[in-house]
Amino acid sequence: MPDIYQLIPQRPPIVMVDVLWSANEAVAETGLTVLEDNIFVRNGHLREPGLIEHIAQSAAAFAGYGTFARGEEPRLGYIGEIKDCQLLALPAVGDALRTTIRLVAEAGGIRLISAETKVKNEIVANCLMKIFLKE
Amino acid sequence: MERSELIAKVNASLADEFEVEESIITPEANIKQTLQLDSLSLVDMVAHIESEFGVKIPTADLGKILTFDALYDYLAEHA
């Protein structure tokens, strides 16, 4: 898999994906290890906006995999909508997040994705998200 | 599936999903205007069609499907 910086436009300290574990046209798996100096960590736990940002950047990495394969630069993505969102637990420092992103549908430059984030096989977050990818 | 049956199922399904009166869905009507779809919600219709009818509409084809009649034709061809 390509280096994550080849797939997403974000740069430290706002990078919320460490690795793209796998990807194809329909589904991707990403990872993030929560570090103490993560800007979304408070009192030893990754806060809710950090989980959402991790999912959004996972979706960006998924899209970036496609652009990388075509030899293009990663595109900026904007969250258009989040729905059916469940944040079930706040991962602790040291936890490894594993997120599965599935492409539900795509139209007019908008990608509808479903996301499920697990820590040690326990679901900590899931949602549907619309991402607008800037041309 | 007969075309009349397909039309009835599509109309009922979209009216329910997008909370519009089924009576305003006519073959010549513009899909986006009738279902009040904006750039964000258009993808919801694509997802709904795939979920309900098992037909994936690629972005390249979506631009050609402006009316419900065009949608019925597309589903009849690809279902």
- Kindly state the average pLDDT of the residues B55-59: 93
Question: Rounded to 5 degrees, what are φ and ψ at A113?
Answer: -125, 155
CA distance B30 to B26: 9
Angstrom distances, CA of residue A1 to CA of A19, A47, A64, B71, B78: 8, 28, 12, 39, 35
Residue B1 touches partner A, C-beta closer than 8 Å: no
A6 has pLDDT over 80:
yes
Pairing of strands A27-33, A41-42: unpaired
What's the CATH class of domain B3-78? mainly alpha
User: What domains are defined for chain A?
Assistant: 4-133 (3.10.129.10)
Residue A73 confidence (pLDDT): 79
Q: How far is A81 from chain B (nearest CA, A)?
A: 8
Q: Which two tokens stand for residue A85?
A: 């969102």
* Chain B: closest CA distance from residue A108 (Å): 7
Pairwise pLDDT comparison (B11 vs A68), residue with the higher score: B11
Residue B19 has a pLDDT of 96
Contact across the interface for A108 and B42, Cβ inside 8 Å = yes
- Give me the DSSP letters along B7-74: HHHHHHHHHHHHT--GGG--TTSBHHHHHT--TTTHHHHHHHHHHHH-----HHHHTT--BHHHHHHH
pLDDT at A28: 97
**Which element (helix H / strand E) includes A121?**
none
Taking alpha carbons only, the member of A95, A100, A93 closest to residue A125 is A100
Nearest CA in chain A to B55: A105
Segment 18-47 of chain B within 8 Å of chain A by CB:
39-40, 42-47
Going from N- to C-terminal start, the domains of chain B cover 3-78
Put simply, the answer to whether A107 touches B57 (Cβ < 8 Å) is yes
pLDDT digits (tens, 9 = 90+) for A70-112: 888 777 888 999 999 999 999 999 999 999 999 999 998 899 9
Question: What is the pLDDT averaged over residues B57-67?
Answer: 93
CB-CB contact of B35 with B14 (8 Å): yes
DSSP A123: E
Q: How far is A91 from chain B (nearest CA, A)?
A: 31
Interval B18-37 mean pLDDT:
97
Distance from CA of B17 to the nearest CA of A (A): 15
Q: Name the average pLDDT for chain B.
A: 95
pLDDT at A19: 96
Percent of the residues in chain B that have a pLDDT greater than 90, as a whole number: 90
**A130/B50 Cβ within 8 A:** no
- Whether B1 shows a pLDDT value over 80: the answer reads no
Per-residue pLDDT of A31-83, as tens digits, reads 999 999 999 999 999 999 999 999 999 999 998 888 888 888 777 888 999 99
* Residue A7 in tokens: 């797939």
Interface test with B, best of A111, A130, A133 (most B CBs within 10 A): A130
Confidence at residue A100, expressed as pLDDT on a 0 to 100 scale: 98
Q: Which two tokens stand for residue A1?
A: 């898999």
pLDDT score for A75: 79
